[in-house]
Amino acid sequence: MELNWMVWVLALGVPLAHADECNNALAAFDYAQASQLAQAQLVAAPADPVARMCAARAAYETGHFADALQHLRAVEQQRPQVELRTYAYNWLTVTLRRLGRAEDAAKVLEPIVPGMKVKDDQQYYDRLMMYKGAKKPEELLAPGRDPVSEATLAYGVANWHLYNGRKD
């Protein structure tokens, strides 16, 4: 019985370790490495939503929006839990906007409502609320957050300005 428990821990740990490697590559702006890691994981586990998200981010950040959309739609079809959904819907919304599909992006935002219980991805939820018009960009840029949260929110605000035609 103890052996079975250890096998399960190891089996579950591999995708998590892969996710960390992929997220580390994204954080280092090494999108080629992130894409390679994601693709390798998708060969082993084609439905892995974390690997799909990593592949989507790598594609998005390199301007391959149609490829990003394909991965994001695959994640969406799995009906992820709130945390992953918040993250995925953020990237799905901005990808559709970058593809010029504002109406489709608005449909993605329909299930995002005030008061959703989001534990780990609050910044992405705040970005979604801004994209939806329920928060102002200035609210997201209020001081007093940790540096990673500030950068995450500032990126969302800058992206919002970009796809709304405000490039200055």
Radius of gyration of the chain (CA): 17
Q: How confident is the model at residue 18, as a pLDDT?
A: 44
Q: How confident is the model at residue 13, as a pLDDT?
A: 35
The segments of the chain whose pLDDT lies below 50 read 1-18
Q: How confident is the model at residue 19, as a pLDDT?
A: 54
Asked whether the beta carbons of 130 and 143 are under 8 A apart, the reply is no
Place of tokens 């799905």: 92
Rounded Cα distance between 26 and 63, Å, is 14
Q: At what angle do helices 122-132 and 102-109 cross, to 10 degrees?
A: 120
Render pLDDT for 29-78 as a digit per residue (tens, 0 to 9).
999 999 999 999 999 999 899 999 999 999 999 999 999 999 999 999 88
Rounded Cα distance between 116 and 101, Å, is 25
Cβ-based neighbour number of residue 43 at 10 Å: 9
Asked whether the beta carbons of 59 and 71 are under 8 A apart, the reply is yes
Rounded Cα distance between 156 and 32, Å, is 22
